[in-house]
Amino acid sequence: MSWHILGAGSLGSLWATRLARAGLPVRLILRNPQRLAQYQAAGGLSLVENGQSSLHAIPAELPDAPNAIHRLLVACKAYDAEAAIAQVATRLEPRCEMLLLQNGLGSQQAIAERWPRARCLFVSSTEGAYREDDLRVVFAGRGQNWLGDPAAPAPPDWLGELARAGIPATWSTDILARLWRKLALNCAINPLSVLYDCRNGELLRHREELGALCAELTELLAANGQTDAATGLESEVLRVIEATRSNYSSMHQDVRLGRRTEIGYLLGHACATADGLDLRLPRLHALHRRLRDHLQRNGLPMD
């Protein structure tokens, strides 16, 4: 069965090249004829790993290609994912599987609701990749992929294919807890790093503010039934800040490069969930407002 990869950006290319290298059937879905022509002229996707570049001539097609889709890896940003799937919706087999690689929460639930017959697997990834050029991706950080299905606990029978392709993958029976924990870490660190325009380590100068945010995030997770994700949040935030002290957060890099952020699926989702639970979290809402104002001043979308 073919792996269709929707979104040949950083993570999509990282998955596609490793699957193809293992001899598994892979097809890329590119957004338009210009992208397809550019891809064909380049002769494939380049993956740079340990300083070595390799070219992978993976078959590529447009969203309106005629062949059916049984397994779709959705590797677009959270704000593009649903619209991108809609473009291939008529090709989806009724019981197809969709692997959703998006950061944050909200996009996965919207997709699962819109395509209820598909099996939606949520993925939380700590692997790192970035685009050196449109079709050239650097594998920047080894990590792990947790896969899970909030609607059904049994793992799919193809996890072995990922192992064969050297893609680290672990089945999680509580993927929402993992995604919520990552979302909370992100909400505590990334917006402040943008607002103070600093590396992660410099946030330790704002311990009181970090502590107050962590307290509200812990309250939110607990009220939302995510008690495991709530446990020890502040200590982990401080550990992550220490471990990444000389790095700029991904949101900081997006804003510096004038790219749209995924704020709507991170802080925006946290605030919307708090509102839905009638929970008063003034620090979190104030942070959301400050960040949105900052994005607006920088000419970037506020969602």
- Tell me the catalytic residues: 182
Binding flags for ligand NAP, 36-75, as an x/- string (CB under 6 A): ---------------------------------------x
Q: How far is CA 165 from CA 22, 25, 169, 267, in A?
A: 5, 12, 10, 34
Residue 129 engages ligand NAP in binding (rule: CB under 6 A): yes
| 176 Cβ contact partners less than 8 Å away, ≥ 6 residues apart | 105, 122, 148, 150, 226
Select the residue interacting with ligand NAP from 125, 172, 193, 273 (CB under 6 A). Answer: 125
Burial 171-187 (b: 16+ CB within 10 A, else e): ebeebbbbbbbbbbbbb
Q: Three-state DSSP class for 153?
A: coil
Q: Three-state DSSP class for 35?
A: helix
Whole-number Å distance between alpha carbons of 193 and 292: 14
CB atoms near residue 97 (< 10 Å): 20
Binding flags for ligand NAP, 227-266, as an x/- string (CB under 6 A): -----------------------------------x----
Select the residue interacting with ligand NAP from 87, 109, 244, 253 (CB under 6 A). Answer: 87
Select the residue interacting with ligand NAP from 3, 80, 162, 217 (CB under 6 A). Answer: 80
Q: How far is the CB of 211 from ligand NAP (least distance, A)?
A: 26
1 half-sphere exposure, CB direction, 13 A CA radius: 12
Select the residue interacting with ligand NAP from 4, 10, 167, 180 (CB under 6 A). Answer: 10
Report phi then psi at 59, rounded to 5. Answer: -55, 140
Select the residue interacting with ligand NAP from 6, 203, 217, 237 (CB under 6 A). Answer: 6
Residues that bind ligand NAP (CB under 6 A): 6-12, 29-31, 35, 75-78, 80, 84, 87, 101-103, 125, 128-129, 131, 262
